[in-house]
Structure 1
Amino acid sequence: MNVTLVVGSNRHGRFGPVVADWLRGHLEGRADLAVRVVDVAETAALPTTLERTPAATAALAEVTPKLAAADAFVVLTPEYNHSFPAGLKNLIDWHFTEWQAKPVALVSYGGVSGGLRAVEHLRQVFAELHAVTVRDTVSFHRAGDSFDEAGRPKDAAAPDAAAKAMLDQLVWWGQALREARERRPYGG
């Protein structure tokens, strides 16, 4: 199953790559997943308006096929101001059919809340785009304190178990929705 990992932060000095590397290890460690990465920091050229100009089309040339080819998504988000980052919102809003009738797993990090408020906002956005968010998530509370200098969780048991449960759900939904789309194109 083709999975696109979306790394949702583009701030300078962001912590996202640390969590993304850990998450990518879990994704690539599964024989049932083929992983592509879309990093919001590398798609900064996306315009802030939804008008399809030649510049916007060029900026989307690399991102859109990775989203379109996905059977499922894992979105990694920090929590900024009790929600998810503007760059991630822009990436999501530039696409519509690419998300439709596909599952989305959500992984978050942040301070005390671990990014869970961002996750709840993303659930509403993806519902509007006719995507299905899986129930289980992975969140890192006080993320900077949760990882060692080598980028590994200091206590890996809980996040590893949460990642497995979440990815098992993602695979189930991904297979079910892919089969459904093959039998009857989604017309939502």
Structure 2
Amino acid sequence: MTSDISPLHVTVVLGSNREGRFGPVVAHWLVDRVRTREDLTVDVLDVAAADLPTTMARTDAAREALASVTPKLAAADAFIVLTPEYNHSFPAGLKNLIDWHSAEWQAKPVALVSYGGVSGGLRAVEHLRQVFAELHAVTVRDTVSFHRAGAAFDDQGRLKDPTAADAAAKTMLDQLVWWATALKEAKERRPYGS
């Protein structure tokens, strides 16, 4: 895909901070898919590496802690949120990251990639759709989910059968690019909320 248009900047949010998490394996696969595209550039924001405040008090210490996180979100034209499913929903660390920001999400598209057991994290995805709707973000319809994720990847972190996941990722990324382009152009003509 060749274009005269500058690539869109997507931030991949790795949403788990649990010890022993499987997320980095899925994130590596996902980032590799994004990097094959000429219409996207990618940055990764790992919740486990972010020193997020644990209370919602807007103190100087909280602002200082967010100084390395907020600019990454603000600079994004679009997001891909990678989440596991914990207790039929998404992780607390991811919710903390989301809740500390508002304008950074507004009028931007969010693609969702999930992993887990039998459900593949899809219950977490449905909860995230509600949260992002409240923040005036647009979630793209198609997702990528890994059911029994640990068994889907080999010991080197490669998908044993990438056919379905690669096709799902292409569809999801195509939708993400469409929404990111449409929303970016709309905001250039008229700022969101005006």
Task: Give the TM bin, normalised by the shorter chain.
Answer: over 0.9
How far residue 54 of structure 1 moved from its aligned partner, in angstroms, is 1.3
Question: Aligned residues, how many?
Answer: 187
2:62 maps to what in 1?
Answer: 56
Matched, 1:138 2:144: yes
Q: Which of 15, 19, 22 does residue 8 from structure 1 map onto?
A: 15
* Aligned counterparts of 1:150 and 1:160: Cα–Cα separation in 2: 18
How far residue 47 of structure 1 moved from its aligned partner, in angstroms, is 1.4
Matched, 1:89 2:89: no
SS of the residue 2:141 aligns to:
coil
1:148 maps to what in 2?
Answer: 154
Alignment of 1:37-186 (within 5 A): 37-43=44-50, 45-186=51-192
Q: Which amino acid aligns with 2:22?
A: F
Q: Which contiguous aligned blocks of 4+ residues in structure 1 show a shift greater than 4 angstroms?
A: none
Unaligned runs of 5+ in 1: none
* Aligned counterparts of 2:129 and 2:173: Cα–Cα separation in 1: 17
Q: Which amino acid aligns with 2:82?
A: L
Q: How many percent of aligned residue pairs carry the same amino acid?
A: 78
SS of the residue 1:152 aligns to:
coil
Normalised to the residue count of structure 2, the TM-score between the two structures is 0.95
* Aligned counterparts of 2:146 and 2:59: Cα–Cα separation in 1: 38
* Aligned counterparts of 2:167 and 2:122: Cα–Cα separation in 1: 18
Q: Which amino acid aligns with 2:157?
A: G
Normalised to the residue count of structure 1, the TM-score between the two structures is 0.98
Q: Which amino acid aligns with 2:89?
A: S
How far residue 46 of structure 1 moved from its aligned partner, in angstroms, is 1.1
How far residue 48 of structure 1 moved from its aligned partner, in angstroms, is 2.0
Q: Deviations over 1:55-78 (max 9, x none)?
A: 111111111001001000000000
Q: Which amino acid aligns with 1:27?
A: V
How far residue 127 of structure 1 moved from its aligned partner, in angstroms, is 0.1
SS of the residue 1:34 aligns to:
strand
Q: Deviations over 1:85-126 (max 9, x none)?
A: 000000000000000000000000000000000000000000
Unaligned runs of 5+ in 2: 1-7
* Aligned counterparts of 1:63 and 1:30: Cα–Cα separation in 2: 25
